[in-house]
Amino acid sequence: MDAAGALEALPRGRAGESYDASGAFVLPGLVHGHLHLCQTLFRGLAEQSDLMRWLRTSIWPLEAAHTESSVAASARLGLAELIAGGVTTVNDMGTVHHTEAVGAVLEESGVRAVFGKALMDQGEGVPTGLLEQRRAALDGALAVARRFHGAADGRLSVSLAPRFILSCSEGLWRDVRDASRERGLVIHTHLAESPAEGREVEAAVGGTAARYFAAHDVLSGRFIGAHGVWLEREEAELLARAGASLVHCPGSNLKLGSGFADVRRWKEAGLRCGIGSDGAACNNRLDTFHELSLASGIGRALHPERPLSPREILALATCDGADALGLADRTGSLEAGKQADVIVVATNAPHHAPQPEHDPYATLVHAARATDVRLTMVAGRVLYRDGAWMTLDAERAVADARAEARGLVRRAHLGVAA
């Protein structure tokens, strides 16, 4: 469908309201499959190149230093960037505390979201401020679910978010599994991200994360795993048989030196797949178009004889990404019966020329940028239009983030300038 044809299908926000999408593509809103909004304030403060050192040296101390106001400022800053970049759905993992502040900002912003409180009841190098008793951890997560699951006319869903194998006891994993079954909540976690993590997981549980999850019945159609860089073919098939999803985070994997996830192999195994940026502390941008381009390049390098096509890559952030989060009935494509999550992406800049319409998928994956987005709409409500935010004050978000980041660094005792 060209821009003119798609415009006819655009839902009206108010009677008589319309939008001129000439010189642009109209497409489903982007689905951002793995994110840490609580880490937006950490951008530029955590530049270590190894996951475990990065967590222990910077990320966990910074998360432990968060207050309710700094978490809210972090979430608001991240959402301002994401909304302006065409993101209409996010899957966010919070930190251990102040998840309600993230929920309130998500509600205010107008985006569609799955989000949850991080669960951590053990772990080497974890600050005491992030460790909770097993029962308190789960009770806190369920309290968030009672408050926000289904809120904002169904835009918000709550997940159970055990951080990863090393931060959760076997008992907590059982609790998460049982609560997911009883309440229908998705499980959002990390697995197989880096070699160092893999070695520590092997030492801790005597095997890989995927096999541990299978042995403990954690895998199901409600399981969303981030990264999966070091999954073996057999493990990918194990996840696929359970109906689980994986989210590719190429920018984060490259910046932390974690490796190259093989999305072609995931798809061949039958896995549902999405894409995300991870947090701004390990990327450092929240630009889904950048992630799409990186994913395409990695896929071509791994499989030059059968690379992922631009259409397959774009699907990671639209229809496939929505399916990976269990939201395919609501978003991910432009069709009757779904919510009106729509974006307009300009294609009239020099970096698109001379013929962006020749292959729209290639244009969007290889040439488009977040700054090309002209309109972002969720459930028929305009959140961003021609450089202006309708639900957030972006200038105030930046000012608040600067002030909160200075206090955060002081509390974390990192000794770096914010």
Q: Which domains does the chain have, with CATH numbers?
A: 22-412 (3.20.20.140)
Residues 6+ away with beta carbon under 8 Å from 335: none
* pLDDT the model gives residue 6: 40
User: Which amino acid does the sequence have at 85?
Assistant: G
* pLDDT the model gives residue 418: 38
Residues 6+ away with beta carbon under 8 Å from 145: 158, 183, 185
List the chain pLDDT tens, one digit each, 418 residues: 333 334 334 444 455 578 999 999 999 999 999 999 999 999 999 998 899 999 999 999 999 999 999 999 999 999 999 999 999 999 999 999 999 999 999 999 999 999 999 999 999 999 999 999 999 999 999 999 999 999 999 999 999 999 999 999 999 999 999 999 999 999 999 999 999 999 999 999 999 999 999 999 999 999 999 999 999 999 999 999 999 999 999 999 999 999 999 999 999 999 999 999 999 999 999 999 999 999 999 999 999 999 999 999 999 999 999 999 999 999 999 999 999 999 999 999 999 999 999 999 999 999 999 999 999 999 999 999 999 999 999 999 999 999 999 999 999 987 554 3
- 10 Å Cβ neighbour count for 353? 10
Distance, CA of 228 to chain centre: 14
Q: What is the DSSP letter of 93?
A: E
Reported pTM: 0.94
Closest among 93, 65, 63, 165 to 124, alpha carbons compared: 165
